[in-house]
Chains A and B, each alone.
Chain A
Amino acid sequence: MGRRVTLAALVISAVAPLMLLGLWSVGDRWFFPALIPPTFTTDSWRAMLTGQLGAAAVVSGVVALATAVLSCALAMPIGHAVARLSGWRRHMASALAFLPVAAPPIALGLGLQYTFVALDVSGTIVGVIAAHVVPATGFLAIYFSGVFTALDPRIEDEARSLGATPIQVWTRITIPIVRRHIGDALALGFLVSWAQVPLTLVIGGGIVRTLPLAVYDYLRAGETRYAATGALLLTVPPILALLAARRERVAPL
């Protein structure tokens, strides 16, 4: 009985906010104390396809995709190097790799801002991607250090001993063996960027308008319907990632 109540509470706490967002996204002139919207409209959903909301979603998607690929490419060798260390060296390297994640994003953003202004990439998509790559690489480096710790180092030793070059070891042995983890890492990198606000604000300077920023803007302007539609869209990639992770767990090896 207690278990059922707990499960019901879990479902309600997970689904109810999404259902409310769904109602908000289509509710028109919906004010307290009305329990449901008096009228419905799909204008915010149409805006997603053609208007600013859609444009912000595309920018977010491009930034998150590029962040995922770049941070994955950087984090893999870093995680591999950390995994092959031991003792205090490993502890120090792990701490260094995790520093961009532990640092408050606003502090990180300000630190990066000076450099990016000098490089003339502040306020550009390239600058925002570069900024997102910093914490995403930290997350993924820690993730990959765990993956490579579990990978028997003798496998790579064996390949080297058989005459494989370092690139052949990576391309023919290491990457194929951890390919499923690379998929997870890409999803994680995508999500780190997808939900990123402070770094986008500081580096993008309001010029680069991603979906989370658009949601903030709509909220501040009192455009609740548009904000709710954007917020619903923001939940789609995490839900897809969770479903994919679940499917992977039950899939046969």
Chain B
Amino acid sequence: MEPALLVQGLAVPFGSGPGLREVTFDVAAGERFVVLGASGAGKTSLLRALAGLSPVTDGTIAVAGPAIYLHQTPVLFPHLTVYENVAFPLRIRGRPQAEIDGRVRAALASVHMGGFAPRMPRTLSGGQTHRVALARAVVARPALLLLDEPLASLDPTLREDMRRTILGLQADWDGAMVIVTHDLDEMSALADRVAVLLDRRIAQIASPAELLSRPASLAVARFLGHMNEMRVSGDAVAVFPPTAVRPQANGFHARVSGLRVRVRGTTAVLAVEGAEIEMSVDPFQPPEIGDELTVGLDPRGVVTFRDAQNVETPSVPISSTRIVS
């Protein structure tokens, strides 16, 4: 099956540096492909280049049909009603009024904005503006929708609402989406596959689960954050999430030096042989600071790297190796 988007060897200038290099990936029809990168990594420049709004210096972009780019803070046309905003892509294509009417009403209904058709954009809230912009983007059924940090400018309650709206869009539209974000939650909620943009190149392409459990390099692991990092035997560095640290009768001796309460879970900070690691704990029954524990590692959650490359996954608990810190 022909991909909705095929990008090969793309070079995109941005900022004052050399820009993105050798960007290669493909997106299948109906797939949600997330480009994950830190602020300033060139995500927006890449997205704008895919939309034809920014120049490229090398490489090819092949899109199976029209591509539509949606800004991080989308703007509606201020002189047109909500209805006319959504109708715009169809009017410029000269579609008949009966078709426009049907498709505009269906698009507005799909983003739960059916009752807002006669309103002017200045009367809408930020979340409503986002939804109308989404309806306008998909009404012409583009082959590819390019979303620039679609949830970044929304507050947490609207974020969840918009996330559901984005996922629901593909129920009656089989186009592909490329979504750029720096947010891991956004990535894991929206992505079928993820490309991690690091050091002006794509460092890894994987499913969210694979990415989080098997980062391809130490740089990717560090970017994903919330990872414990310990130097083990030789030059190797072991990386593992707090969920891989478990109480274990014959493990390391550890002392609880602090607690970190986060939305995604509570962790205990453990001092282990001079190093500091985090362990997921029951938020309703956390250990006390100063408690003494013995802990080990679930080898399924541990990845080790030598020279910043993934060289092996230990098959034995890391407790049998020497921690260098």
Contact = CB atoms under 8 A, between A and B. Distances in A.
A139 to B, nearest CB: 26
A155 B121 CA distance: 12
A252 B88 CA distance: 26
A244 to B, nearest CB: 21
A173 interface: yes
A168 B88 CA distance: 11
Interface stretch (B66-74, B186-194, B248-256, B314-322): B66-74
Which label, helix, strand, loop or mixed, suits the secondary structure of the A interface?
Answer: helix
Interface stretch (A85-93, A119-127, A158-166): A158-166
Interface string A101-133: 000000000000000000000000000000000
A157 B73 CA distance: 13
Contacts of A160: 53
Contacts of A164: 88, 92
B32 interface: no
Contact of B75 (A155, A163, A172): A155
B140 A163 contact: yes
User: How many B residues touch the partner, as a band?
Assistant: 20 to 34
Contact of B93 (A152, A157, A163): A163
Contacts of A95: none
A168 B89 CA distance: 11
A177 interface: yes
Contact of A162 (B78, B79, B89): B89
Most-contacted residue by chain B among A158, A164, A177 (CB, 10 A): A158
User: How many A residues touch the partner, as a band?
Assistant: 10 to 19
Contacts of A158: 69, 71, 74-75, 77, 133
A165 B94 CA distance: 13
Nearest to B78: A177
Nearest to B68: A161
Contacts of A172: 88, 91-92
Nearest to A177: B79
A141 B137 CA distance: 34
Given A157-B53, A172-B88, A172-B92, A162 B136 contact: yes
A23 to B, nearest CB: 48
A163 B91 CA distance: 10
A159 B88 contact: yes
Contacts of A176: 79
A182 to B, nearest CB: 13
A161 B53 contact: yes
A165 B93 CA distance: 10
Interface string B76-100: 0111000000001101110000000
A3 interface: no
A154 interface: yes
Contact of B51 (A154, A155, A161): A161
A152 B92 contact: no
B218 to A, nearest CB: 37
Contact of B140 (A152, A162, A168): A162
B70 to A, nearest CB: 8
Contacts of B88: 159, 162, 164, 172
21 contacts: A152-B75, A154-B73, A154-B75, A155-B75, A155-B78, A157-B69, A158-B69, A158-B77, A159-B77, A159-B88, A161-B68, A161-B69, A161-B70, A162-B68, A162-B92, A162-B136, A162-B140, A163-B93, A164-B88, A165-B92, A177-B77
Interface of B: 51, 53, 66-71, 73-75, 77-79, 88-89, 91-93, 133, 136-137, 140
